[in-house]
């Protein structure tokens, strides 16, 4: 049931906003392993909301540009965003995984469990825990 609610929230169009970009902030994310690797995460700030964007989008947008974005109805997450003058619609990869891929995987495994019975009980338990964690993540 939780997976269906999450997918529904991701799939519904949501409330549309058009706002000016105040700033785009890049934050270095450090890995604490032997290789000392890192990557950058990008956050776009508008007058009303802050949300994560892809590196590709962050490099094309400037302060003062106008962006269109849609806020989901249930969890108030930004599902899709684009520059007002552009045709390309973007979706943040974390939002795609948490709102679509993980819940679909949960439903697929639950469907397969009816066919294979108890042999999938551990996998179902793990995916249920991940889905509950995803729900908590979306509610924050």
Kindly state whether residue 85 falls inside one of the protein's structural domains. yes
pLDDT digits (tens, 9 = 90+) for 63-110: 999 999 999 999 999 999 999 888 888 888 888 999 999 999 999 998
pTM: 0.83
36 lies in the same domain as 72: yes
Count CA atoms within 13 Å of residue 84 on its CB side: 11
36 lies in the same domain as 87: yes
CATH of the domain at 77: 2.40.50.660
Query: What phi and psi, each to the nearest 5 degrees, are found at residue 139?
Result: -80, -20
In the chain, DSSP assigns E strands to: 15-30, 38-46, 50-53, 66-71, 78-83
Domain that holds residue 119: 96-139
Give Cα 89 to chain centroid, integer Å.
14
Under the banding of pLDDT at 50, 70 and 90, the label for residue 20 is very high
107 lies in the same domain as 72: no
40 lies in the same domain as 81: yes
């Amino acid at each position: 049931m939780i997976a269906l609610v999450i997918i529904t929230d991701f799939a519904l169009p949501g409330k549309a906003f058009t706002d000016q970009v105040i700033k785009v902030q890049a934050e270095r994310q450090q890995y604490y392993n032997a290789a000392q690797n890192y990557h950058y995460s990008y956050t776009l700030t508008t007058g009303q909301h802050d949300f994560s964007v892809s590196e590709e989008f962050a490099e094309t947008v400037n302060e003062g540009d106008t962006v269109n974005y849609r806020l989901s109805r249930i969890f108030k997450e930004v599902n899709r965003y684009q520059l007002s003058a552009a045709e390309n619609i973007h979706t943040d990869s974390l939002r795609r995984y948490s709102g679509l891929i993980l819940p679909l995987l949960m439903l697929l495994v639950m469907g397969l469990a009816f066919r294979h019975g108890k042999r999938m009980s551990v996998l179902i338990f793990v995916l249920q825990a991940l889905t509950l964690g995803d729900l908590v993540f979306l509610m924050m």
